[in-house]
Amino acid sequence: MVLASSALIAHTTDLELVIRHVLAGLGQGVHAGRERGAGVEFSEYRAYAPGDEWRRVDWKLLARADRYYVREAERDSHVAVWLLLDASASMLEPSRSIEGLDKLGYARTLLACIAAIAQRQGDAFGLAVLSNGRAQLVPAARGPRQLQRVLAKLTQVQAAGMLPDADVLRSGLRFAGAPSLIFAATDFLDWPSSLSEALVRLRHMRHDVRAVCLQTEAECTGGFSSGPAYRDPEREAGVFRFGADLRAGYLRKREQHFSEVTAGLRAHDVLQVAARIEQAPGEVLRQMLRQGGRR
């Protein structure tokens, strides 16, 4: 099946539909599977829930009890997956070539797909939405119901305001227990920022941190119209224009800015994936999910 295009994201609010299209043929998990092989021992039974894999159903117990039960395995180690969504006002930046598509919708789709993969693998996963100076959490849990909770929260998200400050993020992003996989979706227009500092801090806590830096085609090429005036949606510090005479300077400053972003993340071993929202999301997911990142 052909991977979903960004146009599909723009024209549907059904995240489950988009997930099915994007993940068709992707064939990749968020980490190496641990459900088979040595070190995996039976732990307990639990009632079957929609979305559970049929291969985990205990058919002998079904014959005795006339109910479906799923075998839970005790794993060598547990991996929790955390999804961090930048929902500040700058994430409302739209594509100039695909009507109805913006950074937030694209980021929401990427994180929803990762949540679906984590659920399929049996991992615990949670969500943090960073918007309007607050961090809203969906605590980590496992199973199909958790996936529905995360998808519902992603569907409801509206971009507004600025990122939470450093103190809010420090208290809100306290991931306890074993090292986790952390996937962040942002545009890194602010650098350094409270979010970049939080990602570095999480990496120093031995979490595997991966960030996708989202831009539009127009932002990357300077392809803005010279007609309208533009306002910073987060600070409203004034009105700016963009013309052909300013394009070279804009591109030069943009390259300098994102070179600093890349160097800063690389220095702290945070994997960064640069993406344009006009790209097919499956391509971006492959880069985010490649085993062990670049390490």
Residue indicated by tokens 């949540």: 115
pLDDT single digits (tens) 104-151: 999 999 999 999 999 988 899 999 999 999 999 999 999 999 999 999
Single-letter code of the amino acid located at 65: A
Residue 33 has pLDDT above 80, yes or no: no
CB of 92 within 8 A of CB of 86?
Answer: no
pLDDT bucket at 238, cuts 50 / 70 / 90: low
CB of 127 within 8 A of CB of 85?
Answer: yes
Single pTM value for the model: 0.81
DSSP codes joined into one string, 66-77: SS-EEEEEE-SS
Instruction: Catalogue all structural domains in the chain, each as residue range(s) with its CATH number.
Output: 6-32+77-289 (3.40.50.410), 41-74 (no CATH)
Q: Where are the beta strands (DSSP E) in 26-155?
A: 41-47, 69-74, 80-86, 124-131, 134-141
Share of the chain above pLDDT 70, in %: 79
pLDDT for 295 equals: 44
Q: What is the chain's percent helix, strand, coil content, to nearest 5?
A: 40, 20, 40
pLDDT single digits (tens) 241-291: 666 778 888 899 999 999 999 999 999 999 999 999 999 999 999 999 985
Any idea which of 96-105, 233-242, 248-257 has the lowest mean pLDDT?
A: 233-242
Any idea which of 59-63, 92-96, 133-137 has the lowest mean pLDDT?
A: 59-63
Output the average pLDDT for the chain: 84
Single-letter code of the amino acid located at 12: T
